[in-house]
Amino acid sequence: MNIIGLDELAFGVDDVGACAQFLMDYGLQPVGLATDAGRFEALDGTAITIRHKGDPALPPPLATATMLRKTVYGVADEATLHAIADELGRDRTVTRHADGSLETVDDVGFVLGFQVTRRRSLNLPAETVNAPGAPAGRPINVVAADEQADALPRTLSHVVCFVPDVVKAEEFYVDRLGFVCTDRFTGVGPFLRPAGTPDHHALFLLQTPPFMQGCEHFTFHLGGPTELMQAGTRFAGKGYQSFWGPGRHKFGSNWFWYFNSPLGCHVEYDADMDLHDERWAPREAEAGADTSQLFLFAAKERWAPGRPSPKNAEHG
């Protein structure tokens, strides 16, 4: 199955205005914003959409507190859509909508959509680095530290879901949709990569009790660690509460910074994720602080020479 990755996540929320402001402050561009709904796009057009939780246009909610209503994957072509419809149609209802997209439900109850991807191609520079012993990443007299630099989400990276039966959920995505496991936390769950992307994961499943089922977090890729730090610093400066980070994960190697959100889940910035192909051998480790991050910082107030020394940043 040539599934490229996430195109869109749809939420049914309590407070459309607060969620819209959050997503715009996060760096997404509003498209067709209304008082009761909105679409918020990254630079490539991947998006978060929100509606009031009572909107009949949304799929029915799970019997939990989660606000996630639908996860939409982009695929390479119509042939992939037909293959998905044929495969999943063997044992469940697969609806073909007027816009050509498919809708169905996975084996643990999440509503899924599939569409020929609507993401736009990006041609943007990556973050540059000057390192001794290597060619200069930036030309002479080009300054890296730019307070006015853009730090905008480029593409929807991944979603992390709490599931009541992680074995059943993993089997569905692997056996029926062609996802592959890249790494695994023992007894907790797998990081899963669709066949159409080299990104370390587009989906991470976490075993939890049934009452917790839903979205734990989603994230968008930024252009590099500096963009992540600038975006997170600006976001925190607007009053949003940091939950975890900044730091760098071990599995996936991506830099991260998580924030609390009004969408009933955490929202992350990430950057510089590992890429893998069929030659990669999955790793496995016990879940814990030592395996979850390579290092972790705690943000402190701004400081300058001549002022009392701040406490050392926490790290691990």
Q: What is the pLDDT of residues 223-251, one digit of tens each?
A: 999 999 999 999 999 999 999 999 999 99
Look at 154-158, 241-245, 273-277, 300-304 and tell me which has the smallest mean pLDDT.
Answer: 300-304
Rounded Cα distance, 152 and 171, in Å: 35
Position 311 scores a pLDDT of: 59
Rounded Cα distance, 268 and 290, in Å: 20
Q: What is the pLDDT of residues 151-199, one digit of tens each?
A: 999 999 999 999 999 999 999 999 999 999 999 999 999 999 999 999 9
Residues in CB range of 128: below 8 A, 6 or more apart: 137, 138, 144
Position 131 scores a pLDDT of: 94
Rounded Cα distance, 82 and 274, in Å: 30
Please give the average per-residue pLDDT across 38-46, as a whole number.
98
Rounded Cα distance, 138 and 144, in Å: 8
8 A C-beta contact, residue 5 and residue 196: yes
At the topology level of CATH, where does 3-120+152-296 sit?
2,3-Dihydroxybiphenyl 1,2-Dioxygenase; domain 1 (3.10.180)
Domain segments of the chain as ranges: 3-120+152-296
Comparing CA positions, the residue from 220, 232, 217, 219 lying closest to residue 265 is 217
Please give the average per-residue pLDDT across 89-117, as a whole number.
98
> Predicted confidence band at 313 (pLDDT cuts at 50, 70, 90)?
very low
Q: Tell me the sheet residues that pair with 190.
A: 184
The CA distances from residue 125 to 80, 260, 294, in Å, are 31, 30, 26
Q: What is the 3-state secondary structure (H, E, C) of the chain?
A: CCEEEEEEEEEEECCHHHHHHHHHHHCCEEECCCCCEEEEECCCCCEEEEEECCCCCCCCCCCCCCCEEEEEEEECCHHHHHHHHHHHCCCCCCEECCCCCEEEECCCCCEEEEEECCCCCCCCCCCCCCCCCCCCCCCCCCCCCCCCCCCCCCEEEEEEEEECCHHHHHHHHHHHCCCEEEEEEECCEEEEECCCCCECCCEEEEECCHHHCEEEEEEEECCCHHHHHHHHHHHHHCCCCEEEEEEECCCCCCEEEEEECCCCCEEEEEECCCECCCCCCCEEEECCHHHHCCEECCCCCCCCCCCCCCCCCCCC
Position 65 scores a pLDDT of: 96
Count CB atoms within 10 A of the CB of residue 301. 6
The count of residues in the chain is 316
Long-range pairs of 100-105 with CB within 8 A, sequence gap ≥ 24 = 101/72, 103/59, 103/70
Q: Which residues of 217-230 are buried (b: 16+ CB within 10 A; e: fewer)?
A: bbbbbbbbbbbbbb
Position 315 scores a pLDDT of: 45
Comparing CA positions, the residue from 257, 283, 253, 276 lying closest to residue 268 is 257
> Predicted confidence band at 78 (pLDDT cuts at 50, 70, 90)?
very high
Q: What's the whole-model pTM score? A: 0.94
8 A C-beta contact, residue 196 and residue 76: yes
